[in-house]
Structure 1
Amino acid sequence: MKKRIAIILMICMTLAIFTGCQEAGSKKQFVTIVTGGTGGTYYPVGTIFTTLWNEKLGEKVQASVQSSGGSVENLNMLKDGEAQLGIAMANLTLFAYNGEERFKDNKFEDVRFITALWPDVTQFVVTEKSGINSIGDIKGKTFSVGSAGSGTEYSTKLILETIGGLKFEDLNAEYLGYSEASSAIQNGQVDGMNAEGGLPTSAVSEITASKTKVKILEFSDSDYEKLHSVAPYYGQFTVPKGLYTGIDKDVKTVGVKSTLICHANLSEELVYELTKTIYENYESIVGSHKALEFMGLDQAIKGLPPVPLHPGAVKYYKEKGIEIPEYLLP
């Protein structure tokens, strides 16, 4: 009898220890960041962030990166609980939060900003032989407008309509990711592409270094004023000469800030640690991608439209003495 009781006690203790280990292990949080196509800027930077988080927060956090169709898909994945973090254009995040534009029937009030990143610069890359010298010249041409459902597709549509007076029906629109579009241009299948991203964008670097002669269309001050009048979140930016092979003069263009976003249900402690880890280790990652040069603690909330910051990000920024406007507070 005593032997049987002893065995039962041993089993109970073993179960208790096993359960305790499970509870301890469950404290590690698994997060996925959704980004964009592998030929853009979002995916490589998302990889840089997850590598950093795993290195510095490995006992608490296991982060993974996932490619996607871009901003719109990322916002939908966060809303549906398929990911916890994402990179998205600031304007599309605002539309999702307010239930406007393409999010009219898909409002996402639980989206939160963590930090501003870099400007997503609009780059209309066209072949020299296409005869395209302005936005209006794209009429009747085969042009990659971005992946279906992406922020690039939305921006291309807006720019073509506002500056060129064109609809997608006025051209042969192809819905390709950046790497696919670059290959299609080199193969003579399309005349050009819009590649929005941080500078440099890898797909643009690839095509400018190829045998295919291309150029980047310039946006005049008048073009910018037209666009800004209907989409005030756009700013003016420059693709500097020498950034890409064969681009030997500065090219004036436009762009929108990209942002790191998350779902409101993430814990304050987790988002605080993720935010802190990026900025406390900024010097060690800034050389990993040129787009990161446009970041910095002094730029962390600049250019953000009125969508709340996550409380964890707010906590870190207040610690660093950053004054946060009322419209960004949760």
Structure 2
Amino acid sequence: MTKMTKIMGALLATSLMAGTAFAQSPTFFRIGTGGAGGTYFPIGGTIANGISSPPGSRACDEGGQCGVPGLIAIAQSTTASVFNNAAVQNGELEAGLAAADVTRSMYLGEGKFDGKPHPKLRIVANLFPEDLHLVMPKGSKISDLGDLVEKRVGIAQAGSGTQVAVLQMLDAWGVNRDNMNEAELNNSQSAERLADGQLDAYFYAAGWPVAAMVQLASTKGMELHSFEQADLEKINEIIPAYIPSKIPAGVYEGVDYDVLTPAVSAMLVVSSDLSEELVYGITKAMWNDNTRKLLDNGHAKGKQITADTALDGVEALGVPLHPGAEKFYREVGLLK
């Protein structure tokens, strides 16, 4: 860590611990997202815009920003779920977007994170479903995941929830690092390698449409693997947070068929160290009319991010709501 990073971290921590002072002085709020070619980054940017209201901004009713007074939220590109949750736990980020299954495992210290719980993780909202894309070159086809033995497969980047889940799925079909040629790449890198003939397939869980895949489909072309119903049920047994879903025909150019695939919810996660007042203000700002317009006019998945679905699956997840978020949902009648 550089000296400047340490100084910035100290300044940010000091401002966040100021509690009620956040309305009077600048508060920096870092949101960990994902790669620029995915869905987390644009969605995180929209949320950051919606909840921000820097010092000196025009009032909301005068056409200014309608976020938390004094808050400057910034979306940071990261390697996604695992990194984001770890950074929130360690105080390196104030918030992060993360897959539900990874968030549960890290909070409880289960599975890959056995014995390493992350007790500071708290939920602000369920956001949108992340559909697993298994991308292949145009004209390619597999019957099931077992066909990926001895293939060159992009398993997503280290530090991503996609990689954690994908390795679990592949193992159930007898595929692992020993019998496939795996590549740990982000979505944009994977799309480039596939287009260049260096990969036979790659996985990426994200809300559709995914920018890098839109470009791949419109240039080199691609196929998406549609899972059999029995395979979806098998995956759900292995990873209960992954439920059957569908990417409709026509989302990507040339993919003119419905794609049955597992999906997991994306969550907005914060640290329990953040004050109730701050997180209450952030939650309230997320669901105001101004942020609603930003979400509706941004990435296509933004329309699916609603207050009515903000608590879907949260109770069953086993990760607590932040008290500030809980206060807001009780106030508006979404939580009894």
Global fold match (TM > 0.5): yes
2:320 aligns with: 308
2:171 aligns with: 161
Q: Does 1:271 align with 2:279?
A: yes
Q: Does 1:321 align with 2:330?
A: no
- Secondary structure of the 1:196 match is strand
State how far apart, in whole Å, the 2-side matches of 1:298 and 1:307 are: 19
Q: Does 1:57 align with 2:67?
A: yes
State how far apart, in whole Å, the 2-side matches of 1:128 and 1:208 are: 9
1:98-177 aligned within 5 A: 98-128=108-138, 130=140, 132-162=142-172, 164-177=173-186
State how far apart, in whole Å, the 1-side matches of 2:22 and 2:93 are: 23
Aligned CA distance change for structure 1 residues 52 and 219 (closer, same or farther; 3 Å): same
Aligned CA distance change for structure 1 residues 307 and 48 (closer, same or farther; 3 Å): same
1:88-99 aligned within 5 A: 88-99=98-109
- Secondary structure of the 2:66 match is helix
Query: Given that residues 215 and 247 in structure 1 are in contact (C-alpha distance below 8 angstroms), is that contact kept between their aligned partners in structure 2?
Result: yes
Q: Which moved more, 1:280-289 or 1:143-152?
A: 280-289
1:10-25 aligned within 5 A: none
* TM-score (norm. length: structure 1): 0.87
Q: Does 1:201 align with 2:210?
A: yes
Q: Does 1:189 align with 2:181?
A: no
Cα root mean square deviation, aligned: 1.7
* Superposition deviation, residue 48 in structure 1: 0.8
Query: Given that residues 123 and 217 in structure 1 are in contact (C-alpha distance below 8 angstroms), is that contact kept between their aligned partners in structure 2?
Result: yes
Query: Given that residues 124 and 283 in structure 2 are in contact (C-alpha distance below 8 angstroms), is that contact kept between their aligned partners in structure 1?
Result: yes
Query: Given that residues 195 and 204 in structure 1 are in contact (C-alpha distance below 8 angstroms), is that contact kept between their aligned partners in structure 2?
Result: no
State how far apart, in whole Å, the 2-side matches of 1:58 and 1:269 are: 10
State how far apart, in whole Å, the 1-side matches of 2:297 and 2:266 are: 19
1:67-78 aligned within 5 A: 67-78=77-88
- Secondary structure of the 1:168 match is coil
1:227 aligns with: 235
The partner residue of 1:247 within 252, 255, 274 is: 255
Deviation string 1:199-255 (CA, Å, 9 cap, x unpaired) is 111122121111x23210011110011111222222111100111101111111111
1:15 aligns with: none
Q: Which moved more, 1:213-222 or 1:275-284?
A: 275-284
* Superposition deviation, residue 101 in structure 1: 1.5
State how far apart, in whole Å, the 1-side matches of 2:229 and 2:168 are: 17
Which aligned segments of 4 or more residues in structure 1 are displaced greater than 3 angstroms?
23-27, 128-133
Q: Does 1:38 align with 2:36?
A: yes
Query: Given that residues 78 and 84 in structure 1 are in contact (C-alpha distance below 8 angstroms), is that contact kept between their aligned partners in structure 2?
Result: yes
1:7 aligns with: none
* Superposition deviation, residue 197 in structure 1: 0.4
* TM-score (norm. length: structure 2): 0.85
* Superposition deviation, residue 149 in structure 1: 2.2
Deviation string 1:5-57 (CA, Å, 9 cap, x unpaired) is xxxxxxxxxxxxxxxxxx89973321100011111110111111111222323
1:17 aligns with: none
* Superposition deviation, residue 128 in structure 1: 3.3
Deviation string 1:141-178 (CA, Å, 9 cap, x unpaired) is 1111000121111111012122x221122110000000
Deviation string 1:73-98 (CA, Å, 9 cap, x unpaired) is 11111111111000001111111111
Aligned CA distance change for structure 1 residues 61 and 25 (closer, same or farther; 3 Å): closer
Aligned CA distance change for structure 1 residues 201 and 138 (closer, same or farther; 3 Å): same
- Secondary structure of the 1:27 match is coil
State how far apart, in whole Å, the 2-side matches of 1:203 and 1:159 are: 24
